[in-house]
Amino acid sequence: MPAHIQIGNVAIHRIVEQEAPFFEVLQFFPTLTKEVLNQNRAWLQPKFLDAEDKLVLCIQSYLLATPHHTILIDTCVGNHKPRPNRAFWHMMTSDRYEKNLAGAGFGVGDIDFVMCTHLHPDHVGWNTRLDNGRWVPTFPKARYVFADRELAHWTERQKEDAAACPWILDSVLPIIAADRADVVKSAHAFDNLVTLVPTPGHTIDHYSVQVGKPGAGALITGDMIHSPLQTRYPELSARPDYDPKQSAQTRRNVFGRVCDTATLLCTAHFPSPSVGRLVSRGDAFDFVAA
């Protein structure tokens, strides 16, 4: 695995916070049958699936160093955050994230923009850090790029049922209060090298990030996909998906566009190295690690 990926004049770094078995695969994919799992276990284990059938996932950010900006895409789980429904993310006190950021050659002060593909707890955590009992932006000079309908959805949800989404209170609303948010359409053309691409379904207004030209370059997927099993079976949607039919349609659309091209898929959650290309396989696809 090279220290970073180079796409033209953009360097892409992975900043890993965690990598471990997390969710039982048959629970995580409610429509996955034991039969299909058994047919695929041989290639899934041990890399993508552990001996207890738990999905091995990476929790990470992608950092883009372009000639113009340093952009962090998704911010993992973060420290000191109460996540009572997720024991493995509850009140973390790990220095791994900031160490890996430093290992890639960056500090929190270097980040110009933070892009959150969607507002789930493993994608917004390091947006903020605890400072004397207050949540403040972790990245002192960064603007934070949120999709408008995604932000509206979660702001409303937080008002209705704060306990259901504690991460909005500690990792999203403080960014709004600090006047650091850039609220955009999920199809926002950020600049000539970086474009947001709507990939709805996992959440209401989820976006991916295209680096370079479509059909080449790289696509930072976010959570439109969680496991390479979904390239073989694009209709397999994950339990947390907001609209499972729409997320399946998004996978079909995106996979059809990128398969058999040079496009590198930089997935949020595949285990390391997390990055690869899609090739067609019958009416579905294979993920080939880069």
Binding footprint of Zn ion on the chain (CB under 5 A): 122, 223
Q: In this complex, which beta carbon is closest to Zn ion, that of residue 75 or of residue 158?
A: 75
Q: How far apart are CA 290 and CA 281, in angstroms?
A: 18
Question: From start to end of 116-189, where are the E strands?
Answer: 128-131, 134-137, 143-147, 181-184
The beta-strand segments (E) located in the chain are 5-7, 10-24, 54-65, 70-73, 113-115, 128-131, 134-137, 143-147, 181-184, 194-198, 207-211, 218-222, 264-267, 275-281, 284-289
Nearer to Zn ion, 122 or 205 (CB): 122
Q: Quick one: 17 or 223, whose CB is closer to Zn ion? A: 223
Q: Give least dist CB 262 to Zn ion, A.
A: 26
Min. distance of Cβ 269 from Zn ion in angstroms?
6
In this complex, which beta carbon is closest to Zn ion, that of residue 10 or of residue 15? 15
Output the smallest distance, CB 126 to Zn ion, in A.
14
Q: Closest separation between CB of residue 123 and Zn ion, Å?
A: 6
Least distance in angstroms from the C-beta of 226 to Zn ion: 7
Residue number with CB closer to Zn ion (206 or 232): 206
Is the Cβ–Cβ distance between 31 and 37 less than 8 Å?
no
Phi-psi region of 53 (alpha: psi -120 to 50; beta: other; left: phi over 0): left
C-alpha 108/C-alpha 251 separation (Å) is: 33
